[in-house]
A and B are shown apart, each in its own frame.
Chain A
Amino acid sequence: MRRDLGERIWALAVWTLVGFFVLNLLAMIGSVVVNSFGTRWFNTWLPAGFTTQWYSLAWNEFQLPDILLVTAEVVGAVVLISGLIGVPAAYAMARRNFPGKQMVMFLFLLPLLVPPITYGIPMATVLYQAHLAGTIWGVILANLVPTVPFVILIMIPFVEQIDPRVEAAARVFGAGMGRLFLQILVPLLLPGILAALLLVLVRTIGMFELTFLTSGPSSQTLVVALYYAVFAAGVRPGQSIDAMAVVYMVTTLVWLLIALRFVNPTQIVTRAKR
């Protein structure tokens, strides 16, 4: 529809706001990146010189190789296990209407709606009692709490999209449960599974609170290590902290971009879309 002057001004104001936000966001990221490559940077727009020494420093000081390995193990395990538990559960939820289904659905929604800190502290307490906290398995279990329901909620619409008559046809032609799953369902669900698991991956890399509350010195993920580095900022040169931050950022953003090939940005955010 056509726009008069008042509407044009309003549109301009809105776009200015958006532009301002994006500009600051990119500047914020930019300053971290620039700082991580700068030699000395005091009262100037850009550092005096550029170097990569901070990266080697951070690599050793923060034990990045170990941390990256732990992160990979945790994320890998979370992705795998939440897929193995979540996808069949989603299938059952989509295909069966059993008594108490509403309750179960609500049960799956809760970990997604309640913020991690709120349930993290009681959960960490229980894990400590079970002597699991501080180990890598404690971290993995903690991170599974929001991701299993997440996978279920994402997968249910994908399962519903498959015509049940396709499954019926497979049964008529003699397929048992296992063959049905492997040869029919999984191939059809593959895009959805891929989307869900990529989203789990991205979210788990960035999941701070749960890992923070349950990790020990040998089971920290990258984001928790970064927190500790920033927290003890006086001890280490700021540039090396920023170098670590850049490593974290690159790791996260690379997986984000991969995930976005399969998924809409909105799905990262709307966990429980009604």
Chain B
Amino acid sequence: MAVVSRDFQELRLDNVSRDFGQLHALRDVSLTVKRGEFVALLGPSGCGKSTALNCIAGLLQVTGGSIWLDDLRLDELGPEDRGFGMVFQNYALFPHMSVRRNVGFGLVTQRRPSAEIARRVDEALALVRLETQADKLPGQLSGGQQQRVAIARAIVVGPPLVLMDEPLSNLDAKLRLEMRAEMRRIHMTLGSATIYVTHDQEEALSLADRIVVMMDGQTRQIGTPEELYARPANADVADFMGYRNLFPSSAEAADGGVAVIVGGARLAGTAVGEVGARAMVAVRPDDMRLTGDGPIEATVEFAEYHGRDFYAVARMADGTELYFRSESRVVAGETVRLDAAPSRVLVYPA
């Protein structure tokens, strides 16, 4: 079967499910990726993000639903026929081939003339800045270099869509930051649509145009980084996105919004969805501020020095633990008063 044509407007997953016996790895997942878009699939381990990626690649068959590339039904095609590029988590470089032959593999499969292959491989290697390593074997390269070979191999065929499965997770922290910048640069240069799987919300926030948060095989929220950061759609997503102050409370209507009782203190907040008498409250530590006269009174348990500020845990009289950041020094045992802006106190249905 012929390889899928170069360009597309939209990749669409329609109610895709994937079961492994009794395990429902994906349940009715629907999402779209537009031409040139960088979409991150974000979620904790086991949420199904890699399964979804493998279904899109064709390495796994869907057990329900369908995958479409514009009006072409994809899920009936094998991975050989989809024409996508893929970067694997452990790179999966062919150990017996040099960098050059690894990168050129997909072009050889397409039976391209060797002059063209040589030229395009050189271009791809230049793009990932590895021209000098072209004749080395993967075993002779460092982790970061291997990763770049994997990227070059995926993009050299000029695919309309590039799939990446946690490509940075095997690298150390410093290298990860460098490679993140590289990824952004490459994406801007090539402009191909990218689906990027990660469990690291910082990575997703910094790289993606849109983020799909997945948990337990389902999509929990799809939105821009700003939306996900400031406005998680539900308590689970909020938890994952770093809203460490997350606890049940009682809620009542207040002028213009809703108010919640936290450890006896009354806080004004913003409702997200239909909130009844019981609710879940979510506040980011950065939004929980030290004030002179805030409604919350708590005793600091300990404070971590983070250079620019302090990251502290404080306990209220009734035992509720709160996480907050402070630019000024706080010490264990100190009594503090905390407050948060109503727009940054998110109240979810219980």
**Footprint of B on A, CB under 8 Å?**
1-2, 4
Interface of chain A, main secondary structure: loop
Which A residues touch B58, using CB under 8 A?
A: 1-2
List chain B residues, Cβ under 8 A from A2: 58, 61, 78
CA separation between A2 and B62, bound complex, in Å? Answer: 11
Point out the residues of chain A lying under 8 angstroms from B79, CB to CB: 1
B59 within 8 A of A: yes
Cβ of A262 to closest chain B Cβ, rounded Å = 29
**Can you spell out 8 A-B residue pairs with CB atoms less than 8 angstroms apart?**
A1-B58, A1-B59, A1-B78, A1-B79, A2-B58, A2-B61, A2-B78, A4-B78
Chain B 49-86 per-residue mask, 1 if CB under 8 angstroms from chain A, else 0: 00000000011010000000000000000110000000
Q: Chain A residue with minimal CB distance to B76?
A: A2
Q: Which residue of A lies closest to B75 (CB)?
A: A2
Residues of B within 8 A of A (CB): 58-59, 61, 78-79
Closest A-B pairs by Cβ, 3 of them: A2-B78, A2-B61, A1-B59
Query: Smallest CB-CB separation from B59: which chain A residue?
Result: A1
With a cutoff of 8 Å between Cβ atoms, the chain B residues found around residue A1 in the complex are: 58-59, 78-79
Across-interface contacts of A4 in B (CB, < 8 A): 78
Question: Mostly helix, strand, loop or mixed at chain B's interface?
Answer: loop
Q: How far is the CA of A2 from the CA of B79 in the complex (A)?
A: 9
Number of A-B contacts (CB under 8 A): 8
Tell me which residues across on chain A come within 8 A of B59, comparing CB atoms: 1
- In the assembled complex, how far is the CB of residue B350 from the closest CB belonging to chain A, in whole angstroms? 44
Instruction: With a 10 A CB-CB cut-off, give which of B58, B59, B61, B78 has the most chain A CB atoms.
Output: B78
Q: Which residues of A contact B61 (CB under 8 A)?
A: 2
5 additional A-B residue pairs with CB within 8 Å, beyond A1-B58, A1-B59, A1-B78: A1-B79, A2-B58, A2-B61, A2-B78, A4-B78
A1 to B61, CA, bound (A): 8
A272 CA to B78 CA, complexed, in Å: 40
Tell me the bound Cα distance from A68 to B59 in angstroms.
56
Instruction: Compute how far the CA of A1 lies from the CA of B82 in the bound complex, rounded to whole angstroms.
Output: 13
Complex CA–CA separation, A1 to B79 (angstroms): 8
Q: A100 to B58, alpha carbons, bound, how many Å?
A: 53
Separation of A1 and B59 alpha carbons in the complex (Å): 5
Q: How far is the CB of A202 from chain B (nearest CB, A)?
A: 36
Instruction: Name B60's closest neighbour in chain A (CB-CB).
Output: A1
Bound-state CA distance A4–B79 (Å) is 12
Collect the chain A residues with CB atoms within 8 Å of residue B78's CB: 1-2, 4
The distance in angstroms between the C-alpha atoms of A4 and B61, with both chains bound, is: 13
Report how far A175 CA is from B207 CA in the complex, Å.
Answer: 58
Cα–Cα, bound, A2→B1 (Å): 14
Q: How far is the CA of A4 from the CA of B78 in the complex (A)?
A: 9
Q: Give the shortest distance, in Å, between B88 (CB) and chain A (any CB).
A: 14
A1 CA to B60 CA, complexed, in Å? 6
Give Cα A136–Cα B254 distance, bound, in whole angstroms.
99
| Nearest A residue to B79, CB-CB | A1
Please give the distance in Å from A235's CB to the nearest CB on chain B: 59
Chain A nearest CB: distance from B86 CB in Å? 13
Query: A47 to chain B: closest CB distance in Å?
Result: 47
Chain A's nearest CB lies how many Å from the CB of B51?
Answer: 15
A1 to B78, CA, bound (A): 8
Closest to A2 in B: B78
Give the complex CA separation of A2 and B78 in angstroms. Answer: 6
**How far apart are A1's CB and chain B's nearest CB, in angstroms?**
6
Tell me the bound Cα distance from A4 to B77 in angstroms: 10
Q: Which residue of B lies closest to A3 (CB)?
A: B78
Q: What is the chain B residue whose CB lies nearest that of A4? A: B78
CB distance from B33 to the nearest CB of A (A): 22
Shortest C-beta distance, A4 to chain B (Å), equals: 7
Cβ distance A85 to chain B, nearest Cβ, rounded Å = 39
Q: How far is the CB of A144 from chain B (nearest CB, A)?
A: 40
Minimum C-beta distance from B84 to chain A (A) = 14
B63 CB to closest chain A CB (Å) equals: 13
CA distance A65 to B78 in the complex (A): 64
**How near does chain A come to B193, taking the closest CB pair, in angstroms?**
23
Per the bound structure, the CA–CA distance linking A20 and B59 in Å amounts to: 32
Q: How far is the CB of B280 from chain A (nearest CB, A)?
A: 43
Residue of B nearest to A7 (CB): B78
Q: Could you tell me the distance between the alpha carbons of A121 and B206 in the complex, rounded to whole angstroms? A: 74
Separation in Å of the A211 CB from the closest CB of chain B?
A: 44
CB-CB nearest in chain B for A1: B59
**Identity of the chain A residue whose Cβ is nearest the Cβ of B1 in the assembled complex:** A4
Nearest chain A CB to B34's CB is how many angstroms away? 27
Give chain B nearest CB distance to A3 CB in angstroms: 9
| Docked complex Cα distance between A2 and B58 (Å) | 8
CB distance from A221 to the nearest CB of B (A): 46
Complex Cα spacing A234 to B29, Å:
75
State A4–B80 Cα separation when bound (angstroms). Answer: 12
Nearest neighbor of B77 in chain A, beta-carbon distance? A2
Give A102 to B202 CA distance when docked, in angstroms: 51
- Separation of A154 and B186 alpha carbons in the complex (Å): 50
Bound: A97/B78 CA distance, A: 52
Q: How far is the CB of B214 from chain A (nearest CB, A)?
A: 23
